[in-house]
Chain A
Amino acid sequence: MRANFIFSEVWIGLRRNLTMTIAVIVTVAIGMALLGIGLMINAQVGNMSTYWADKVQLSAFLCKKNDPFEACKGRSAVNTQERQALLAQIKSMPQVDDVFFENQQAAYENFKAAYSSNSVFLSAVKVEDMPESFRVKLHNPEEYEAVFAALSGAPGVSNVVNDQQLLDKFFGLMGKLRWAALVVALIQVFAAILLIGNTVRLSAYNRRRETGIMRLVGASNLYIQLPFVMEGTIAGLIGGVISAILLIVAKIVLFDGMQAYFVLSTQLDWSDVAQVITLTTVVGVLICILASFVTLRRYLRV
């Protein structure tokens, strides 16, 4: 009986304020989706840092035939002797934990796997275009400078790439995107609070006859206020569901798509996405409930 009555009141309220309710739903959906994207970027960066923490390495690429790199100008491809010497030099350095050699074929396979979605790119590159390289694993990725400097000048080395630097660049970009998403999310939350306030005010005005009679015949505060709060809650919940859909789309299109452009990128777990969705939905609903309550205290004196 009670639940029945309250739900019918809620339904009437939502229908009467349909446009405002839609505005609340859209605002909450966008706000929570952006908050969720910020959190997902966080998870992605955290994920990648732990994944790469023990794998980050220096890559020393070796001169190949007709290599355009400055260090290789006027010389032919690296020969076995030079390769052995380099290997010995790397192994002798105290900072080095491990080193392995990647030949042209292996490099091509890795390249193919990384750019599998880009057939134009793949068809333009042949096995002979890929450089050989030494992959150096350090005891402490922070202390790369000495090894980096030694290898950069060594004969037969075309260039040295530090994966950590690549990651840092990527993390910097992700950090900026995260802040942008969070700032816009905050603005949306602010707009949502104002909108909910207005909706509740309209709703209270529309139903002033009913609430007046309810007060008169001795309905409890909870009974009078619950339909209004429920309206906000339901709008928040629908907004939360829409934001969940947006986040799932974002995970598939943006985060999984990122791997095609950035080789070091790792897959974002669905469990992380589920966590983010739960959190944003709860936050969205809580904001709606709080905003409803605060406005009710002003416009529905009991």
Chain B
Amino acid sequence: MIHFDNVTKVYVNQNRPALDHVSVDVDKGEFVFLVGPSGSGKSTFLRLVLKEERPNSGAIHVAGKDLARLSNFKVPHLRRRIGCVFQDFRLLPNKNVYENVAFALEVIGKPRRFIRKVVPEVVELVGLDGKAHRMPDELSGGEQQRVAMARAFVNRPMILLADEPTGNIDPATSIGIMKVLDRINRTGTTVVMATHDAAIVDSMRKRVVELEDGKIVRDQSRGVYGQAY
């Protein structure tokens, strides 16, 4: 599903590569934790999958497509098959829960009938039924992250990328978030989650890929966060 082959990314005006000859394979339906300290290259990895950045060398395949040969014109279609969740939720403050989720479908031109049908389903899936008409500032951090997950998942993506989704949320609420991610993963969606949260990684017992200074230092199925942190 995601295939990195010897990928190196150096940002302009930086001496040290953000990713240094990284090769990794993520299969369909897998749940992968991407761990490592700040600046180890986790976010760069996710940005490369979305083709928000281009690698300096190496090949990236996402959902069977060679990103180097994917024209700019087709990038939006790639992104429709990838959902994204972030630490800061990125909700639209002037739209309610339903509208925030529907927005993701409206802007890719889905018909209204379809939107009316699928949005309530997804809102229920993330555990927000009954709160569809709340505004983001009326929700707790955990609930806002659920809205973001509903928005990321509403178009049934093949891959869900989560960049420290529990970074702004207390541990008790984080468990709920992880349950939603697990539920999404069980529908067959590949999930890649970058995180600092050792407790979560340890409790989930999923595959762990550890980055340090842009290199993969560990790739372990059913792993834990690691001793050093």
Contacts and interface: CB of A to CB of B under 8 A. Distances in A.
A5 B76 contact: no
B92 A1 contact: no
8 contacts: A210-B103, A213-B107, A216-B79, A216-B84, A218-B82, A220-B76, A220-B108, A302-B76
B92 to A, nearest CB: 6
A210 B92 contact: yes
B81 to A, nearest CB: 8
A214 B108 CA distance: 8
Nearest to A1: B112
B78 interface: yes
Contacts of A220: 76, 108
Contacts of A2: 109
B107 A217 contact: yes
A221 interface: yes
A217 B109 contact: no
A219 B84 contact: no
A213 B109 contact: no
Interface in A216-248: 216-221, 223-224
A218 B79 contact: yes
Interface of B: 50, 72-73, 75-84, 90, 92, 103-104, 106-112, 151, 155
A210 B93 CA distance: 10
A217 B108 contact: yes
Between A5, A212, A215, A216, the greatest number of chain B beta carbons within 10 A of the residue's beta carbon is seen for: A216
A218 B63 CA distance: 15
A223 B108 contact: yes
Given A213-B103, A217-B83, A217-B103, 5 more contacts: A214-B107, A217-B151, A218-B76, A218-B81, A223-B109
Contacts of A209: 90, 92
B90 A219 contact: no
Contacts of A212: 90
A217 B90 contact: no
Nearest to B76: A218
A5 B111 contact: no
Nearest to B114: A1
B92 A217 contact: no
A297 to B, nearest CB: 13
Contacts of A224: 107
Interface string A184-217: 0000000000000000000000000110111111
A1 B111 contact: yes
Given A5-B106, A209-B92, A210-B92, A217 B155 contact: yes
Given A209-B90, A213-B90, A219 B111 contact: no
A1 B103 CA distance: 12
A175 B134 CA distance: 66
B114 to A, nearest CB: 9
Going nearest first, the 5 A-B pairs with the smallest beta carbon separation are: A218-B80, A218-B79, A219-B107, A217-B104, A218-B76
A218 B77 contact: yes
Nearest to B82: A218
Between B73, B75, B76, B109, the greatest number of chain A beta carbons within 10 A of the residue's beta carbon is seen for: B76
A214 B106 CA distance: 10
B106 to A, nearest CB: 5
A143 B76 CA distance: 73
A5 B90 contact: no
B45 to A, nearest CB: 16
Contacts of B80: 217-218
A2 B105 CA distance: 11
Contacts of B110: 1
Contacts of B106: 1, 5
Nearest to B151: A217
Given A5-B106, A213-B90, A213-B103, A218 B111 contact: no
B153 to A, nearest CB: 11
A294 B155 CA distance: 32
Contacts of B111: 1
Contacts of A1: 106, 109-112
Interface string A270-302: 000000000000000000000000000000001
Nearest to B148: A213
B108 A213 contact: no
Contacts of A221: 73, 76
Given A217-B79, A218-B77, A218-B78, A223 B107 contact: yes
A14 to B, nearest CB: 16
A216 B78 CA distance: 10
